[in-house]
Homo-oligomer: A and B are copies of this chain.
Amino acid sequence: MHSMATIISEELEKHIRKLHERVGNAVTEGRFIVFGAGSTQLLNVAVHALSNSSSPAGVVATIPFYPVPYRSQTNFFRSMDYKFVGDTSMWKNTSDVNMNMIEFVTSPNNPDGQLKKAVLRGSSVKTIHDYAYYWPHFTAIPAPADEDLMLFTLSKLTGHAGSRFGWALIKDEEVYERMLKYTDQISFGVSHDTQLIALQQLKAIFQGNNGSDIFEFGFTTMRKRWEILSKALSESNRFSIQKIEPQFCTFYQQLRGPSPAYAWLKCERDEEEDCYEVLRENGIISRRGSVYGAERRYIRLCNLCLLHHQAVHAWLQHWRHDGKNNATRVARVNGKDVLKRHRQRPSQYNTLMELTAPSDQK
């Protein structure tokens, strides 16, 4: 006899497998699944499971990377078994070091939206693939991901970041057991209310034209925003953004252009070294490149965030037309909204949900 809670967990697992099969973004056959309080929790769960007490592991990621979960969280527990040791490039010759390595691979990458592969090689290297953005909203899907330990989250799929629900696909049974033990020890697993709501969300995805609607909406919206930004900056010598090549997408069965979650913008003028300040003076609040381990010439813009996108758009429109700062007033109004938003944690959630805001539907 199974309890209702068990039945819901099993249904949820089935729907996760079904969704990956529909999208073709991950191999689930023969993989174990562990639920987490967002993929954020699962990052540490995975680091724990891949490290062992006999020989501490060095944890790395490749610059530019999002530091909050990778560096801060890994070092937060001050575990004897693992430690964040910096940029992958510093550890390329792992044969030199007497240390187990765990490499975070984020693909598409935050902040620059590039599809990534693991950098380190060798028997002492284990990888954690963070596929939060590996959905047709944000990238072409060249092939199903087929890595040892892959993380996904509802947050960037449906926008329900506030639900705090993520999952791991795991090849190795022992690693699976260790991850399960972690979530059991810390909280006896994931809230069953949250699991029920996650299941409802996955069911809703399939109700929308067997899953086509959400990706069509996500892709066209993100693509449109990227085109606006690209066009505005195409003739600029002052700012540049990352190049992402068109790729064949197995989900759409055609070549498709980029639609990344974030723009990784560079200030090109010699005198504009501090790109964050340049934008801030124009009422645009961005994230500093230094946060991601990069030069101050870089900042991250959020295409995913409606208010932020609108503020950037308004500013660029005016800036292009007369080359002056007379867009500042307009943009600053929006800029303030963005600033406000960044101060309120709960409203940082549900960013993709904002895509559906009426003002973006014209």
Contacts and interface: CB of A to CB of B under 8 A. Distances in A.
Interface of A: 1-6, 9, 36-38, 40-41, 44, 48, 53, 68-69, 72-73, 76-81, 161-165, 182, 184-194, 197, 340, 344-347, 349
Which one of A3, A69, A73, A162 has the highest number of Cβ atoms from chain B below 10 Å of its Cβ?
A: A162
A187 B38 contact: yes
Nearest to A43: B186
A193 B163 contact: yes
Contact of A3 (B5, B9, B186, B346): B346
Contacts of A162: 5, 191-193
Given A5-B162, A192-B164, A193-B194, A40 B187 contact: yes
Given A37-B37, A187-B40, A6 B344 contact: yes
17 contacts: A1-B340, A5-B346, A6-B346, A6-B347, A38-B188, A40-B186, A41-B186, A48-B77, A68-B185, A73-B186, A77-B77, A79-B79, A80-B80, A161-B188, A184-B345, A188-B349, A193-B193
State the oligomeric state as a number of copies: 2
A4 B160 CA distance: 13
Contacts of A187: 36-38, 40-41, 164
B349 A5 contact: yes
Contacts of A161: 188
B347 A185 contact: no
Contact of A78 (B81, B163, B165, B194): B81
The prevalent SS among residues of A at the interface is helix
A195 to B, nearest CB: 9
B346 A192 contact: yes
A73 B185 contact: yes
Nearest to A186: B41
> Across chains A and B, which 4 residue pairs bring their CB atoms closest together, nearest first?
A5-B346, A162-B192, A37-B187, A3-B347
Nearest to A1: B340
A182 B187 CA distance: 14
Contacts of A53: 78
B79 A188 contact: no
A76 B5 contact: no
A45 B6 CA distance: 27
Nearest to A194: B191
